[in-house]
Structure 1
Amino acid sequence: MGLLPLFTSMLLFSWTTLNAALKITKVDLSIEPSAAVYRDTNVALRCKAEVLTFGTEALNRVYTIYKGDSVIYNKTTSSSEDLLYHLPQARVSNNGKYKCKISIMGEEKASEAATLTVEGMSTPILRFNKANITEGESVTATCLALGETGSLLFSFYDNSKEVENARVTSNELTFVPKGVGNHIIHCSYLVFVMPNSFKSQTSNTVTLTVEELSIEPVLKISPQDNVYEGDTVNITCSVSNVTKDYQAGELLLSQDTELLKSGKTSIHVNWTAHARTPMLTIKCRLYLRDVVKVVNKTISVSELFSVPTLKISALEVFQEDEISLTCRIAAKGIKKKSKVLTIHPKVPVSTPKIWVSGSAILGRKVEIFCLSDTGTPPITYTLWKANKQNQIAIVHEFNKAANFTIVINEPGRLNHYLCKASNGNRTPEQSDKLQTAVIEPMTEAYLMVVPDVDDISEGHTVILICSFLGTPPVTVRWLRDSDDLNPLKTTTTNINTTSYEFVVNKEHTDNYYCQAENRANSVESNKINLVVGMAMWKKLLIPGTIILVVSSLVMVGFILFTRSRRVRVDRTPESVWSSRKPEADPLRKGTDTVYSELQNSPHGAADHHDYGSVKYVDLNGDQQPGITQHSPKDISYSDLPMPVD
């Protein structure tokens, strides 16, 4: 290993060992002389830390002082003495929460927050650059907050009312006092220590004198009395006491809201009087800096003649009717026009049309419309039912239908409705009767099946019959539970029943129903559980197959049984009789005979012997080779047994 890596490892080990032996146990922040002081008190923040270290080597300590969340002081020192942060001549702006944090070789710890409260603020001092001004002149006020620090906001007051736009961060304000006379001005300030603010006391008051401008607007009207419409009136608007120092203002001459003329120092107008109102007001305005001065005069203008009146002889005029107009006009130097009378001859209403919006459904609301293609509004439409007035609607627009809302309670009753239209004193025009069919909603649907559900087997033709009540046309959908989103069939019919025919198999087992829908609504029928049974030939095939299998098994068993007996009898070494000489073996008739036959003598003669009774042995037993032999004395004599084939 090289020297440099070795040295680095030693340093790292030493630092790790030292850091492991370092612990900051406690950090305290105290405020001296106390946490609540008065203005101008010298305040010190003392940060004291208790640190456990390994050895006596001095370590660098990094102190950080916070006010709120902001860092206000940092210091690095190797001294273990307490850190002092001084706030000389404390101010309200020093109010807040303080905290101390110490960091030593990566180990950090912070103190609890300590709150400093400073009471007392300096009294503001107000000063002006002028004590006397004239109307419209500006003045500058200065509000002094001696010795205060932090974020300050100043306010200025004129006669206890805050000066407009007077809240500023600067302690100077330039403004124009409004009104002539003495103005009592004072100020105050706020110190912001977020999230709080502290308000100072009120400053001294200063009296500001505002003198009136020596210039005034002057208005002259000639003549001012006995003025008739059509007379010429001379009007002059000017400025009085104009001096060399006068800065040109602006003059405006007006009559009510009508501006007659504008100028700088003097305005002259020759105006023709009109008797629009009994009294006319003439105004002369002077605008100088921020000052507005107004002088006004009123004159009475007598009407020379009245406004002409245009009349029409008839109250209502219809198309092709005769009309007569009368206009009364008097003129003497002045022309007057009457109001414009616009005459629109009325167009009589045409025969109205009546119709229904959408579908007329029994038990629901329906909108009936009535409209005359021609006719001058307003048009009065009346809805009649069986010669009885039902509803009235007045339409004020061209080509707009009247709208009536009714409820249909009986089928086929809409043909009792008609409407009438009128726009004057003429006989109302009458529509035809309403010709609209009433749609009865679907109220019931019933599903039946042919043949009976218990007699349905594979290969059968099944007919589902759906019956329903409602106004046609009716759309019928055939559905099954397993796939109710895809109808088996959809059909539209004009009668109250329809059917669906199909050949079934086992996959058709399901719940079936029909859905009937007309223009009013839709209903669903009852559900039929269709269980498809097995076909008849399959039913017959099963027992036949079973019989065949059983018969085959019986036959196989019989054959095996027969063969087993034949083999065993053929293998028997002796007869059931007593032992005889080999040459005297009894004759056997077949291997499956269960009885003994008579044996002839060795010479072939039919000797008469005494025969005992035959004792049968189990030829199927497992002990055939050991058939028991009986001596003659055990044989009981009796008649010979009949041979058994």
Structure 2
Amino acid sequence: MAAAQKKTYIKKVTLSIEPSNEVAWDTNVTLRCQAVLSKQEVVQFTIYKSEDVVCTQTMSSSNDLLCPLTNLKVDNSGRYSCEVKFEDKEETSSNHELTVTEAPAPVLHINPIEATEGDEITLTCVAPEQASQLYFYRDSENIKTMKTNSTQAVWKRHVTISGTHTFHCSYGIHTVQTYYISPNSNTVSVSVKELAITPVLEITGPQKIYEGDQLSLTCSINTSLPSTSDAYLYLMEGTEHLSEGFPKVNHSLLVLDKGPADFTCELVVKRVEKRTSKNISVAELFSAPTLTLSPAEVFQEDDVTLTCRSDSYASERLNDSQLMYSLDPPQDFLYSKSNGVFYGKAPKSEINVSCVAKGKGVTKSSEISTLRPKVPVSIPEISVVGPAILGQPVKILCRSHTGSLPINYTLVKGYTPVRATTVRLASEEAVFTVESTSDLGSYKCEAKNSLKNPQLSERLIDAVTVPLSNLTMTVIPDLAEITEGGRLYLICSVEGTPPVTFKWYRSDDENPVYAVTSYSHNTQHYQIPVLSRKHSGRYRCEAANPANNIVYSDFVDIHVRMALWKKALIGGVCALGSVSALVVVLKLYFKSRRDTVDNEESSVDYTEMVNAQPADPSRERSFSKFKLIQNYLRSTMGQDRLSGLAVLSIQNEPARKFDIRQIVGEFAERKARPVPFL
């Protein structure tokens, strides 16, 4: 089988610039593209400048593509590459940078080169190749930049400054990588003659000018020119435009401000500006007024006087009666006592006001003053900061709810000042510390923020908190009488000032089993309404009040005993067992005796043996009690009552120690039923 035909592939593509990558302006270069393939084929060569096609040709890969570039310009500078395509394959060479240097300078033409101020001249800048922008310079200062897509630019302008001036130009070209600036063109000198016309300014007025004087101003030119729109006169004071016209401008004005006044007469002709200025001095007619307040410290509704006055005035131009004063804005609560003096009652809120002085058309104002009537201090309140604890220092607060700061507070004991302080900020408080609580009721507080009489508070009324002591816990009923089903009271009593918070604890629990706060009493109790064996344990009481001291009682051991009915039941069971055992013993005994009698043929009657008197008298009494209970009371009681009475009868000595009243009371509470009252 024949061998498979090998495919052609592109090994390498190279580009070279001959004779060099950097050449002078207006020279020739050749771009050479070479391709190396695995075997000779017909391929397409393409040379690019950036993304623009420069040369392209289809030919044998054994030949080089030669692309000549003649008369290079700056615009030919850029990045070049070569691409070779064969069938569906292509390969590109590396980039080569071509730089064109030593471009010639542009040429500048100016017409005319001699002119008069206001004349128009034409500047023409010609570049050796197409430029992106053209620049015009006067005396080395760039005065015009023109965008263009041609090789030259024409600019017309009016010359407005006399003298000899030099002009030149240059051009710039955008290349792909940079922006090229050409050398400067030739320099052209232009001679500009001054326009032979000058504005004239005349000022007429008093020899010494004061504020309020009338001035007459005249603006004209020193030579006659025909009335034309190309010439115009402007009259100004500083930067303020006063008047305009041609060929003469007249203006009259009242001088209002002291100091230097600058006036200018300006002529504009053929875009040329000619100016003449004059400076005059203006004396002060009267000084700016000042506004004073009397008294300096004023309270709401107090009498107040505002005085508006100028400290000095030119008596040769103005007398005192020609200078009038007023308030700005006018105040309704004030009336004028005389020129510049205003009297009335101080308002309740602050106001901003200034005074105005007027004379001979001149108006001057004072600086704005703020009238802040002070608020009289109110009657202070005196109180204790926190609880007043017996035996500890006490802090006393004095405070007035209204009153302008600063306020002077004085702590008074009886009629004697003890301590004083001044509150200057709203965040401050007047707090005094006294060491003893024994005489708190004799303290008062005095507040003052003016020369008027101070305000005095009521006497301090604040209860003294006595720290807690002597905490005891009482148990009801007695410890020996605490049984199941009963009710238990743990009563805590303490000495000290309420409110008191009581807490009861069991020794095996960190949390209290009960807590309560008493606001008027020093005794509280914790009740367990129905006791059980689980309530046994060690109990104690804790108490606390605002004095922040905590006191504890001693531990009390609570042992909940078995209920009496349980004891009676157990006793009855035990007694029944004993009787049963005794019966068995007696039966055995009598049987043995009977057998003995039969054997001995005794003549003793069995019945007499059984009914014989017992040797132990207590046993006889025991049997007698049971007989009494069973025979005479049996029909009126149940088994529980029978067992209880049996126990009480047998254990009569301990039973006599019970408190019958307490038992009856508890019975009445448990068995109480509402009975309708008829």
- Normalised to the residue count of structure 1, the TM-score between the two structures is 0.50
Instruction: Tell me how far apart the structure 1 counterparts of residues 205 and 369 of structure 2 sit (CA, whole Å).
Output: 40
Instruction: Tell me how far apart the structure 1 counterparts of residues 273 and 215 of structure 2 sit (CA, whole Å).
Output: 26
Counterpart in 2 of 1:47?
A: 33
Match of 2:295 among 307, 314, 329: 314
Aligned residue for 1:330, secondary structure, equals helix
Shift in Å, 1:321: 3.2
Instruction: Tell me how far apart the structure 1 counterparts of residues 146 and 44 of structure 2 sit (CA, whole Å).
Output: 43
Match of 1:392 among 417, 420, 424: 424
Instruction: Tell me how far apart the structure 1 counterparts of residues 221 and 516 of structure 2 sit (CA, whole Å).
Output: 99
Instruction: Tell me how far apart the structure 2 counterparts of residues 184 and 49 of structure 1 sit (CA, whole Å).
Output: 57
Match of 2:229 among 218, 234, 247: 247
Does the aligned pair in 2 maintain the 1:251–1:287 contact within 8 Å? yes
Deviations 1:332-390 (A, max 9, x none): 993666646878472433438899xxx9xxxxxxxx99885465xxx436799994648
Instruction: Tell me how far apart the structure 1 counterparts of residues 460 and 175 of structure 2 sit (CA, whole Å).
Output: 83
Counterpart in 2 of 1:380?
A: 406
Counterpart in 1 of 2:198?
A: 216
Match of 2:215 among 208, 229, 233: 233
Instruction: Tell me how far apart the structure 2 counterparts of residues 120 and 184 of structure 1 sit (CA, whole Å).
Output: 25
Counterpart in 2 of 1:346?
A: 373
Letter in 1 for 2:68: H
Counterpart in 1 of 2:53?
A: 72
Instruction: Tell me how far apart the structure 2 counterparts of residues 433 and 298 of structure 1 sit (CA, whole Å).
Output: 77
Q: Number of paired residues?
A: 396
In structure 2, the CA distance between the partners of 1:382 and 1:285, relative to structure 1 (3 Å rule), is farther
Letter in 2 for 1:380: P
Shift in Å, 1:121: 1.0
In structure 2, the CA distance between the partners of 1:158 and 1:493, relative to structure 1 (3 Å rule), is farther
Match of 2:360 among 334, 344, 353: 334
Deviations 1:594-636 (A, max 9, x none): xxxxxxxxxxxxxxxxxxxxxxxxxxxxxxxxxxxxxxxxxxx
Does the aligned pair in 2 maintain the 1:372–1:421 contact within 8 Å? no
1:116 equivalent to 2:116? Answer no
Instruction: Tell me how far apart the structure 1 counterparts of residues 75 and 85 of structure 2 sit (CA, whole Å).
Output: 28
Counterpart in 2 of 1:161?
A: 141
Match of 2:77 among 95, 100, 109: 95
In structure 2, the CA distance between the partners of 1:23 and 1:320, relative to structure 1 (3 Å rule), is closer
Does the aligned pair in 1 maintain the 2:116–2:194 contact within 8 Å? yes
Shift in Å, 1:168: 4.1
Letter in 1 for 2:424: I
Shift in Å, 1:36: 2.8
Aligned residue for 1:403, secondary structure, equals coil
In structure 2, the CA distance between the partners of 1:39 and 1:300, relative to structure 1 (3 Å rule), is closer
In structure 2, the CA distance between the partners of 1:353 and 1:62, relative to structure 1 (3 Å rule), is farther
Letter in 1 for 2:275: V
In structure 2, the CA distance between the partners of 1:370 and 1:296, relative to structure 1 (3 Å rule), is farther
Instruction: Tell me how far apart the structure 1 counterparts of residues 261 and 228 of structure 2 sit (CA, whole Å).
Output: 32
User: Higher strand proportion, which one?
Assistant: 2
Instruction: Tell me how far apart the structure 2 counterparts of residues 338 and 93 of structure 1 sit (CA, whole Å).
Output: 71
In structure 2, the CA distance between the partners of 1:28 and 1:428, relative to structure 1 (3 Å rule), is farther
In structure 2, stretches of 5+ residues that fail to align are 310-319, 324-358, 387-396, 412-417, 432-436, 463-498, 502-513, 519-678
Shift in Å, 1:27: 1.5
Does the aligned pair in 2 maintain the 1:369–1:403 contact within 8 Å? no
Instruction: Tell me how far apart the structure 2 counterparts of residues 435 and 256 of structure 1 sit (CA, whole Å).
Output: 76
1:403 equivalent to 2:427? Answer yes
Deviations 1:522-572 (A, max 9, x none): xxxxxxxxxxxxxxxxxxxxxxxxxxxxxxxxxxxxxxxxxxxxxxxxxxx
Deviations 1:571-608 (A, max 9, x none): xxxxxxxxxxxxxxxxxxxxxxxxxxxxxxxxxxxxxx
Letter in 2 for 1:316: E
- Matches for 1:611-626 after TM superposition, within 5 Å: none
In structure 2, the CA distance between the partners of 1:373 and 1:41, relative to structure 1 (3 Å rule), is same
Counterpart in 1 of 2:8?
A: 22
Counterpart in 2 of 1:571?
A: none
Counterpart in 2 of 1:189?
A: 171
In structure 2, the CA distance between the partners of 1:311 and 1:193, relative to structure 1 (3 Å rule), is closer
Does the aligned pair in 2 maintain the 1:25–1:50 contact within 8 Å? yes
In structure 2, the CA distance between the partners of 1:67 and 1:298, relative to structure 1 (3 Å rule), is same
- Matches for 1:137-156 after TM superposition, within 5 Å: 137-146=119-128, 148-149=129-130, 152-156=132-136
Instruction: Tell me how far apart the structure 2 counterparts of residues 209 and 429 of structure 1 sit (CA, whole Å).
Output: 92
Q: State the superposition RMSD in angstroms.
A: 5.1
In structure 2, the CA distance between the partners of 1:223 and 1:47, relative to structure 1 (3 Å rule), is same
Counterpart in 2 of 1:279?
A: 260
Shift in Å, 1:238: 2.4
Instruction: Tell me how far apart the structure 2 counterparts of residues 432 and 159 of structure 1 sit (CA, whole Å).
Output: 92
Letter in 1 for 2:378: T
In structure 2, the CA distance between the partners of 1:269 and 1:419, relative to structure 1 (3 Å rule), is farther
Instruction: Tell me how far apart the structure 2 counterparts of residues 432 and 87 of structure 1 sit (CA, whole Å).
Output: 113
Instruction: Tell me how far apart the structure 2 counterparts of residues 406 and 107 of structure 1 sit (CA, whole Å).
Output: 98
Does the aligned pair in 2 maintain the 1:419–1:431 contact within 8 Å? yes
Does the aligned pair in 2 maintain the 1:62–1:74 contact within 8 Å? no
Aligned residue for 1:93, secondary structure, equals helix
Shift in Å, 1:88: 0.4
In structure 1, stretches of 5+ residues that fail to align are 1-16, 360-367, 394-401, 408-412, 437-471, 475-490, 496-645
Counterpart in 1 of 2:595?
A: none
- Normalised to the residue count of structure 2, the TM-score between the two structures is 0.48
Does the aligned pair in 2 maintain the 1:102–1:108 contact within 8 Å? yes
Instruction: Tell me how far apart the structure 2 counterparts of residues 72 and 212 of structure 1 sit (CA, whole Å).
Output: 58
Aligned residue for 2:75, secondary structure, equals helix
In structure 2, the CA distance between the partners of 1:236 and 1:429, relative to structure 1 (3 Å rule), is farther
Deviations 1:153-173 (A, max 9, x none): 33222212222x536446434
Aligned residue for 1:123, secondary structure, equals coil
Does the aligned pair in 2 maintain the 1:222–1:235 contact within 8 Å? yes
Instruction: Tell me how far apart the structure 1 counterparts of residues 138 and 446 of structure 2 sit (CA, whole Å).
Output: 76
Instruction: Tell me how far apart the structure 2 counterparts of residues 273 and 313 of structure 1 sit (CA, whole Å).
Output: 35
Letter in 2 for 1:392: R
Letter in 1 for 2:31: L
Instruction: Tell me how far apart the structure 1 counterparts of residues 374 and 241 of structure 2 sit (CA, whole Å).
Output: 46
Does the aligned pair in 1 maintain the 2:230–2:268 contact within 8 Å? no
Instruction: Tell me how far apart the structure 2 counterparts of residues 188 and 75 of structure 1 sit (CA, whole Å).
Output: 36
Does the aligned pair in 2 maintain the 1:381–1:419 contact within 8 Å? no
Shift in Å, 1:102: 0.9
Letter in 2 for 1:319: Q
Instruction: Tell me how far apart the structure 2 counterparts of residues 372 and 43 of structure 1 sit (CA, whole Å).
Output: 100
Shift in Å, 1:122: 0.6
Counterpart in 2 of 1:199?
A: 181
Letter in 2 for 1:233: L
Between 40-49 and 337-346, the greater mean CA deviation after superposition: 337-346
Instruction: Tell me how far apart the structure 2 counterparts of residues 230 and 312 of structure 1 sit (CA, whole Å).
Output: 30
Aligned residue for 2:145, secondary structure, equals coil
Does the aligned pair in 1 maintain the 2:230–2:270 contact within 8 Å? no
Counterpart in 2 of 1:298?
A: 279
Aligned residue for 2:322, secondary structure, equals coil
Shift in Å, 1:108: 0.6
Instruction: Tell me how far apart the structure 1 counterparts of residues 516 and 160 of structure 2 sit (CA, whole Å).
Output: 92
Letter in 2 for 1:92: V
Shift in Å, 1:205: 0.7
Does the aligned pair in 2 maintain the 1:191–1:199 contact within 8 Å? yes
Shift in Å, 1:34: 2.5
Does the aligned pair in 1 maintain the 2:267–2:274 contact within 8 Å? yes
Deviations 1:306-349 (A, max 9, x none): 66776655333433433456667332993666646878472433
Aligned residue for 2:183, secondary structure, equals coil
Instruction: Tell me how far apart the structure 2 counterparts of residues 371 and 248 of structure 1 sit (CA, whole Å).
Output: 80
Does the aligned pair in 2 maintain the 1:63–1:75 contact within 8 Å? yes
Match of 2:21 among 32, 35, 47: 35
